[in-house]
Amino acid sequence: MRFLINDVFDFPAHLEKLGLADKTEGMIDAVIDESAKIGEEVLAPLNEIADAEGCTHVSPTEITTPKGFKEAYGIYRDGGWQGLSFPETYGGMGMPFSFSIFQADILAAANWTWLMFPGLSKGAINTLVAHGSEPLKDLLLTPLVSGEWTGTMCLTEPQCGSDLAQVSTKAEPVADETFLGMQKYKVSGTKIFISCGDHDLADNIIHCVLARLPGAPEGTRGISLFAVPKKLVGEDGSVGDLNHVNVGRIEDKMGCHGSPTCELQFEEAEGYLIGTAHKGLNHMFTFINTSRVGTAVQGMAAAELAFQNSLWYAKERLSMRSLSGVKNPDGVADPIITHPAVRRLLLTQKAVSEGGRAMVYECALLADKMQAAEAEGDVQAAKRMDDRMGFLTPILKGFLTEMGLEAANAGIQVYGGHGYIKSNKQEQVMRDVRIAPVWEGTTQIQGLDLLGRKVMLQKFRPINEHCMELYKSTLGILLKGEGGKLRSHAWTLLKHVAEWQMLTLKVALRARKNKDAIGVAAEDYLMMGGYVSLAHHWLHMEQAAVRALKAADKSEEDDFYTAKIQTSAFVFDQLLPRTRTLAQTIIAPLDSLMDIKADHFSFDHSK
Amino acid sequence: MRFLINDVFDFPAHLEKLGLADKTEGMIDAVIDESAKIGEEVLAPLNEIADAEGCTHVSPTEITTPKGFKEAYGIYRDGGWQGLSFPETYGGMGMPFSFSIFQADILAAANWTWLMFPGLSKGAINTLVAHGSEPLKDLLLTPLVSGEWTGTMCLTEPQCGSDLAQVSTKAEPVADETFLGMQKYKVSGTKIFISCGDHDLADNIIHCVLARLPGAPEGTRGISLFAVPKKLVGEDGSVGDLNHVNVGRIEDKMGCHGSPTCELQFEEAEGYLIGTAHKGLNHMFTFINTSRVGTAVQGMAAAELAFQNSLWYAKERLSMRSLSGVKNPDGVADPIITHPAVRRLLLTQKAVSEGGRAMVYECALLADKMQAAEAEGDVQAAKRMDDRMGFLTPILKGFLTEMGLEAANAGIQVYGGHGYIKSNKQEQVMRDVRIAPVWEGTTQIQGLDLLGRKVMLQKFRPINEHCMELYKSTLGILLKGEGGKLRSHAWTLLKHVAEWQMLTLKVALRARKNKDAIGVAAEDYLMMGGYVSLAHHWLHMEQAAVRALKAADKSEEDDFYTAKIQTSAFVFDQLLPRTRTLAQTIIAPLDSLMDIKADHFSFDHSK
């Protein structure tokens, strides 16, 4: 983390530039040190127990969380950590967004399901900050930012997940009834898959609910967003009676047992409009984008956790002799870390974890700039940053969750049969992260968002700008030629960027004849962008390591930097070549996917 | 199945050639129909319950299986199915090996963990048939073949799995004690990961145990194989007292809950030598090879099950509109099967399931030939078939288990969030199949077996023979040019075969300088062989379909054959291009995997 923060991205200079140097003095170290303490001492020890114990549906308004979750949340809340990057107006610390990412990086690897409770709440806070009316913000934000309450996102219904046009939950205005000047609504409908939809960590829960107003247009243009508290809130902010939000069931799922996935039944529950009527989906995207970055963190954290748990084992487990000669003559066999196949598994985990971290931190850096631009009222600059993040988010989310799953899968493989046993803690990582490529929009949906919405609908501008950035920085490294393989890696990357950009054009030409060309290409197009981005960040890490090695005062950390350079070589030699396949499949014939009729996928001859 | 059996492989002609036509008349249909009945009516309904319930460790000699398993086993046993492909001498039906593969194909998809009980027992039977002394065979084989008893394979110990050189279980001859003329031994040691190591399905269990005799050489050349019954057997074959084999625990694992994974403690348990002293590992390979093909079936079956469960859902679930125009104007949205990304998931499952089946059936066909050659005493022909299977087995096992896992993973993705919920039955497929790329030798070990033992140690003969076969049959299709894309697919395949063969040579040249070149290449080399093999079988299926389409009397099944042709196109356009990456990584620089020191993978700066 510190290598990225200091050597690669130079966050101190970045904060200086944003005029935040004084305010944030010493804070990064404090965030890292304190988060590490909470992660190591409080959260990590609860991760395995939470998986075994799960959550309990005591009653429709009482869900209990696993042992220790409540106490851990108390420590986090009392430390004021929920407010780390939220405005001081509402009791937050007002630190840059990136700081909360540094914290999430640590806590996510320690205990992902626990982090979901405050994590989802942050999405609700962001949504209210961005779109809530003043009385609503005044009412809800302070207890949310303090962590006294939490928030949720209620989108999915039994008949629809990705396709929110089908949302059928209703919100009816209550005639002549207002609260703090806000119109009261009665919200009715069933929402499913509501993560942390109920629990015992906080006094109250604010649900952000998508619903339709009477006479609303069909489809996504008729959806509005409502704040519906679990318990009614008094004018003074006091928590009152229950508000007809019942948990029908909590799901029995593959993993993530520590966080309850709730079916919520809203039965004329009182709620207040967030933002503008019928603009609910737009508003919700504030929440969704926060969650998508959060889910990218989930993927990266799974890679980190699986890597940490694999590495010590690979050094200790003795099996077979190295093909290139005995490495551990005093032992009965060589440690498995000497075998190339095991090294590849470990290096994949390391590359995804450390490279994924760089990808996420880049996004955090942009978010800081956007935050600063907004604070200064520089709408254009904020929009520029927002666009850039909008382009990067689907790649981050889609690529890092898929790679996190691969890294977790590798973790089982390193352990062999022992990886399949629960007590060795590797299979839980895989079960927990398996949902990451699904929720907050599947990888397939991320692909369509990237290639369809971000690239095609905006006539290539985002991809061209992105590639221009990549050309510039990579060309810089190529021209400087600071040693080692930097120059050849830069050259390889340049060719890949050009190829990716060119493929965009090819897909666009194919799409003019048949729009399915976008659907056929989207997922692989995203993954190719992911590999290019991963390699790009490793190239920069490699450069930073080469420089650090040259600086005399860093000599004692030579090994650390050398390992970075070696891992970069691994990325270029073993991971980036995966684009060789993608470059073909992105423009593979459409008919081999589209021709077969739905009824011809299978035939039941027994009938 | 019938398309492969009749149209592609022409098993009737194959049986005729082996002189088995009369004996097997009508039997294939009987096996398929009766197995389908057992699979559909008896086993499939137990699959989900078994996952939820698991097995219970009642006492060290009493493990109970999930609800219904015992009754299901009774039906299978009473039907005489365990003896399907075993010699009539021991009460079997004496049918060709392939018939038991047809049956396993069906039962594995219905309920994999149940099938493990009779499946592992078959390995024990094969081992005894091949290596047991006459009195041992007379004593044990009849009840094993009837299914009255079952058998297990006891290799792994806490300190060693893949590296059996470390086996430390001991076997001491008991002075002056024999049984039916066989020396008695006392076997002591702890074995772990013993699948179906104890259970309530059968009256007795015969454990095949690897152990060391006093003064045995170190390493794999000092391991012998013993038959150790759970309960002692009288001279008349009657089941007597317990024989000091205790279950220490059953493992709590990610999946496969229906089959107990036991730690077995042998405490001076009575046993008899199987085969020759110190040749235990060689003998055990009879068992291991059976199990490896069985595990390939597990991978293929997982793809089939995930596909079946995905397909109906993809047709019924309505979400979003097709990019190329509304497909379901009367519905609120289009079925997700209209979307390219979902089609790709489904077609991957279909390609792996149906193409994997072809790969497995080819191996079954070779096994039939070997069986027949052995029966005729044609040692050379038998050896030829055995070599060929020895070459194909690691590809089958490694490739089909990895692809089965991918197909199961795709099954979750098709369902979106619903795929993560247990009741939708997709996540169980993934948890159950996750062990397949691990047990019976990891994919990495399969790679080393293929490239190291089979190809390099035998100086390329097996790969060259294999490629020659592929050239011949593919060239045949190329020259005939029977229409459609057959010719272009054949040409593509030829190039791939040549490339794979050439890469073998390149790796060999690199290995002359550094043996690690083999380890670096092995896994990807295997996977490349898998894709080539998959495409090869799809090409033949495509040819059979093209021919069937031309035959007038098949016109009513046009759609079935057209779908085969379309799926073949998918394989060539979307799956075979994965070799583009593998062709690079197989010969990627060694240093990017090997240079980084074990202690430099990670640094703990907090210390």
3-state SS of B194-237 is EECCCCCCCCEEEEEEEEECCCCCCHHHHEEEEEEECEEECCCC
The Cα–Cα gap between B176 and A380 comes to: 95
Find, in chain A, the residue whose alpha carbon is nearest to that of B524: A341
Mutate to test the interface with A, among B218, B566, B579 (most CBs of A within 10 A): B566
- Reduced to 3 states (helix: H, G, I; strand: E, B; else coil), residue A228 is strand
Both structure tokens of B100: 């038991």
CA angle (B405, B410, B411) in 5-degree steps: 95
Residues in chain B with CB shorter than 8 Å from the CB of A413 are 437-438, 442-444
Measured between CB atoms, does A438 come within 8 Å of chain B? yes
pLDDT tens digits for B215-243? Answer: 999 999 999 999 999 999 999 999 999 99
**Mean pLDDT value of segment A15-42:** 97
Distance of CA B228 to the CA centre of its chain: 25
Interface of A with B in 454-513 (CB under 8 A): none
Both structure tokens of B457: 């140690």
Cβ <8 Å between B319 and A435: no
Q: What is the pLDDT at residue A32?
A: 98
Find, in chain A, the residue whose alpha carbon is nearest to that of B422: A253
Phi and psi, residue B322, nearest 5°: -60, 140
- CA-only gyration radius of chain B, Å: 25
Other C-beta atoms closer than 10 Å to the C-beta of B512 total 8
Query: Which residues have CB under 8 Å from B469's CB, separation 6+?
Result: none
pLDDT tens digits for A569-599? Answer: 999 999 999 999 999 999 999 999 999 999 9
Which residue bears the tokens 């976008």? A518
**Mean pLDDT value of segment A317-330:** 95
Mutate to test the interface with B, among A251, A579, A581, A599 (most CBs of B within 10 A): A581
B553-564 in b/e form (b: 16+ CB < 10 A) is eeeebeebbbbb
Cβ <8 Å between B319 and A569: no
Distance from CA of A589 to the nearest CA of B (A): 7
The Cα–Cα gap between B41 and B47 comes to: 12
CA nearest neighbour of B524 among B575, B439, B581, B573:
B581
* Per-residue DSSP letter, A335: B
Distance of CA B12 to the CA centre of its chain: 24
Q: What is the pLDDT at residue B288?
A: 85
Say whether B440 is catalytic.
yes
Distance from CA of A308 to the nearest CA of B (A): 8
Cβ <8 Å between B442 and A416: yes
Q: What is the pLDDT at residue A551?
A: 86
Q: What is the pLDDT at residue B557?
A: 72
Task: Say if residues B333 and B321 touch (Cβ distance below 8 Å).
Answer: yes
Asked whether residue A605 carries a pLDDT value surpassing 80, the answer given is: no
Task: Say if residues B117 and B73 touch (Cβ distance below 8 Å).
Answer: yes
Both structure tokens of A157: 């219904």
Question: From the candidates A157, A427, A440, A542, which is the catalytic residue?
Answer: A440
* Local confidence band at B555 (pLDDT 50, 70, 90 cut-offs): low
Residues in chain B with CB shorter than 8 Å from the CB of A439 are 417
CA angle (A204, A205, A211) in 5-degree steps: 140
Query: Which residues have CB under 8 Å from A588's CB, separation 6+?
Result: A520, B573, B574, B577
The Cα–Cα gap between A342 and A359 comes to: 25
**Mean pLDDT value of segment B385-399:** 96
Both structure tokens of B375: 């029966």
**Mean pLDDT value of segment A216-227:** 96
Cβ <8 Å between A420 and B442: no
Residues in chain A with CB shorter than 8 Å from the CB of B41 are none
Residues in chain B with CB shorter than 8 Å from the CB of A520 are 340, 344
Residues in chain A with CB shorter than 8 Å from the CB of B309 are none
* Per-residue DSSP letter, B318: B
* Local confidence band at A552 (pLDDT 50, 70, 90 cut-offs): low
Of A416, A523, A574, which is closest to B341 when you measure between CB atoms?
A523
Phi and psi, residue A273, nearest 5°: -65, 135
Cβ <8 Å between B254 and A162: no
Query: Which residues have CB under 8 Å from A286's CB, separation 6+?
Result: A123, A126, A127, A130, A131
Which residue bears the tokens 């509005």? A224
* Amino acid identity, position B419: G
Task: Say if residues A192 and A158 touch (Cβ distance below 8 Å).
Answer: yes
Query: Which residues have CB under 8 Å from B47's CB, separation 6+?
Result: B110, B111, B112, B113, B114, B258, B425, B428
Interface of B with A in 56-115 (CB under 8 A): none
Residues in chain A with CB shorter than 8 Å from the CB of B113 are none
Residues in chain B with CB shorter than 8 Å from the CB of A220 are none
Interface of A with B in 149-178 (CB under 8 A): 156, 159-163, 165-166
**Mean pLDDT value of segment B146-163:** 96
Q: What is the pLDDT at residue A82?
A: 98
Task: Say if residues A508 and A460 touch (Cβ distance below 8 Å).
Answer: yes
Asked whether residue B607 carries a pLDDT value surpassing 60, the answer given is: no
Q: What is the pLDDT at residue B553?
A: 65
Find, in chain B, the residue whose alpha carbon is nearest to that of A436: B417
Cβ <8 Å between A165 and B333: yes
Cα-based distances in Å from A507 to A456, A518, A591, B200 = 10, 7, 15, 59
Residues in chain B with CB shorter than 8 Å from the CB of A596 are 343, 347, 563, 566-567, 570
Q: What is the pLDDT at residue A556?
A: 63
What average pLDDT is seen over chain A? Answer: 96
**Mean pLDDT value of segment A379-400:** 96
pLDDT tens digits for B313-340? Answer: 999 999 999 999 999 999 999 999 999 9
* Amino acid identity, position A56: T
Cβ <8 Å between B598 and A560: no
* Local confidence band at A288 (pLDDT 50, 70, 90 cut-offs): confident
Both structure tokens of A536: 């790009």
Q: Which of A470-479, B384-393, B545-554 has the lowest mean pLDDT?
A: B545-554
Per the DSSP assignment, residues forming a β-bridge with A206 are A151, A229
- CA-only gyration radius of chain A, Å: 25
DSSP A231-270: EEE-TTS-EEEE-SEEEEEE--BSS-TTS-EEEEEEEEEE
Chains A & B: contacts with CB separation below 8 Å:
310
Query: Which residues have CB under 8 Å from A127's CB, separation 6+?
Result: A208, A225, A274, A283, A284, A286, A287
* pLDDT above 90 coverage of chain B, percent: 96
- pTM for the full predicted model: 0.98
Q: For chain B, give me the number of helices (H) and strands (E)?
A: 20, 11
Residues in chain B with CB shorter than 8 Å from the CB of A606 are 36
* Local confidence band at B604 (pLDDT 50, 70, 90 cut-offs): confident
Question: From the candidates B263, B402, B427, B440, which is the catalytic residue?
Answer: B440
Asked whether residue A365 carries a pLDDT value surpassing 80, the answer given is: yes
Interface of B with A in 26-55 (CB under 8 A): 36
pLDDT tens digits for A476-497? Answer: 999 999 999 999 999 999 999 9
What is the bridge-based pairing of β-strands B62-64 and A224-229?
unpaired
Half-sphere exposure of A259 (CA within 13 A, CB side): 23
Burial class (CB in 10 A: 0-12, 13-18, 19+), B495: exposed
Measured between CB atoms, does A417 come within 8 Å of chain B? yes
What average pLDDT is seen over chain B? Answer: 96
- What is the helix (H) or strand (E) element at residue B183, kind and residue range? strand B182-195
Both structure tokens of B528: 């490349």
Q: What is the pLDDT at residue A554?
A: 61
* pLDDT above 90 coverage of chain A, percent: 96
Query: Which residues have CB under 8 Å from B604's CB, separation 6+?
Result: none
Cβ <8 Å between A420 and B438: yes
Per the DSSP assignment, residues forming a β-bridge with A344 are none
pLDDT tens digits for B510-551? Answer: 999 999 999 999 999 999 999 999 999 999 999 999 999 998
pLDDT tens digits for B474-506? Answer: 999 999 999 999 999 999 999 999 999 999 999
Distance of CA B596 to the CA centre of its chain: 35
Measured between CB atoms, does B218 come within 8 Å of chain A? no
- What is the helix (H) or strand (E) element at residue A106, kind and residue range? helix A97-110
